[in-house]
């Protein structure tokens, strides 16, 4: 007997819609009913997206502050499975995603329901997923699976390519030299593999082994260097937000300074810190690192 599935997503560029469509295709083919709910904002975020306007989202995304949504409806008040398509902004859930997750009507729909998160991002998603876990817990639903799709190029290269995509609206090669930004077309096409895995567990409703199997299929890859940077950067982001909140009249100036600060920290400071860690700390913390990677790969919440 087919199950009722709700697939929720916000897709500013169209990438996440492609991911969700390909992910749910095997579920549709298996005879399940998949309903799509696109999150729309009362005041939409632009695309292409000027960098100054993007950085203006830092305080509210970091502190998970919701914004007004456009009116929405679903066909049913309860589903057998809810798929949550999301993307990180500033190491936090995007404002559209945190807004739907804190909407009381939506929370009533996903209450006591199994949910799967699926994201498309540049490369850092761990801090944001931890905030997602808390949002899911607050909605009294259960996270049973997570898929995190990334731009697989280096941190430095993807920083420039994402700015090109965001600023021009074109997912092409900057200057004809850089690789294409975002999640690769091949990965987006192959995401149906994870949908087939989910279908197997959906039939029984026994979800305990879903995430381990998704991990084996490559649905989640936790890279130590990025995890290390995220731990440091998350604390720094919050300090900047605290400063901006303390001096609201200087918001524009502080965000302008922050933009250059974060660029220097990412491109120059972080490689130095990683080298120091590699020489003096990482060799002695292997058990701790393995434990952290296992935790972030899974769906448990601390």
33/197 Cα distance (integer angstroms): 17
- Please identify which residue in the block is written with the tokens 């009294």: 140
Q: Quick check: 114 and 207 in contact, CB under 8 A?
A: yes
Residue 87 confidence (pLDDT) above 90? yes
Residue 59, pLDDT > 80, answer: yes
- Indicate if the pLDDT at residue 123 is higher than 90: yes
Residue with tokens 């890859």: 221
* Domains of the chain listed by start with CATH number: 4-221 (3.40.50.360), 225-294 (no CATH)
Chain mean pLDDT for the chain: 96
How far apart CA 217 and CA 232 sit, in angstroms, is 29
pLDDT band, very low/low/confident/very high, at 296 (cuts 50, 70, 90): very high
In angstroms, rounded to a whole number, what is the distance separating the alpha carbons of residues 33 and 28?
6
Spatial CA neighbour of 15 closest among 187, 178, 130: 187
Q: If you average pLDDT over residues 102-130, what whole number do you get?
A: 97
Q: Above 90 in pLDDT, residue 289?
A: yes
Distance CA 188, CA 184 (A): 6
Q: What is the pLDDT of residue 175?
A: 86
Task: Over range 160-176, report the average pLDDT.
Answer: 91
Residues 292, 194: Cα–Cα separation, whole Å? 23
SS3 206: coil
Given a cut of 90, whether residue 293 has pLDDT beyond it is yes
Which pLDDT tens digit goes with each residue over 12-35?
999 999 999 999 999 999 999 999
Six-digit token string for 231: 């731990």
* Mean pLDDT to the nearest integer, 143-154: 96
pLDDT for 174:
86
> Which three-class secondary structure state does DSSP give residue 248?
helix
Whole-angstrom Cα distance, residue 143 to residue 140?
A: 10
pLDDT by residue (tens digit) across 222-281? 999 999 999 999 999 999 999 999 999 999 999 999 999 999 999 999 999 999 999 988
pLDDT classification of 302: cutoffs 50, 70, 90:
confident
pLDDT over threshold 90, residue 176 = no
């Amino acid at each position: 007997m087919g199950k009722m599935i709700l697939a929720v997503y916000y897709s500013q560029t169209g990438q996440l819609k492609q991911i969700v469509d390909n992910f749910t295709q095997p579920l549709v083919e298996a005879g399940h009913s998949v309903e799509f709910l696109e999150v729309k904002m009362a005041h939409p975020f632009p695309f292409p997206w000027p960098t100054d306007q993007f950085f203006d989202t830092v305080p509210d995304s970091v502190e998970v502050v919701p914004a007004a949504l456009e009116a929405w409806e679903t066909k049913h008040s309860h589903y057998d499975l809810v798929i949550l398509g999301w993307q990180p902004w500033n190491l936090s859930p995007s404002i559209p995603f945190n807004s739907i997750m804190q909407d009381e009507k939506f929370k009533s729909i996903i209450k006591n329901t199994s949910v799967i998160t699926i994201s498309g991002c540049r490369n850092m998603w761990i801090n944001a997923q931890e905030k997602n876990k808390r949002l899911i817990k607050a909605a009294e639903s259960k996270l049973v699976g997570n898929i995190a799709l990334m731009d697989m190029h280096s941190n430095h290269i993807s920083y420039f390519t994402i700015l090109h995509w965001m600023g021009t609206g074109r997912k092409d090669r900057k200057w004809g030299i850089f690789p294409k930004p975002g999640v690769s077309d091949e990965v987006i096409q192959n995401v149906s593999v994870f949908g087939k895995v989910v279908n197997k567990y959906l039939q029984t409703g026994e979800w305990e082994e879903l995430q381990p199997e998704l991990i084996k299929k490559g649905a989640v890859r936790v890279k130590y260097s990025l995890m290390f940077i995220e731990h440091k950067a998350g604390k720094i982001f919050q300090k900047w937000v605290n400063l901006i909140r303390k001096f609201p009249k200087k918001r524009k100036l502080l965000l302008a300074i922050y933009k250059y600060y974060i660029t220097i920290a990412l491109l120059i400071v972080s490689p130095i810190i990683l080298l120091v860690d590699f020489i003096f700390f990482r060799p002695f913390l292997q058990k701790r690192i393995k434990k952290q990677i296992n935790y972030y790969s899974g769906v448990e919440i601390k």
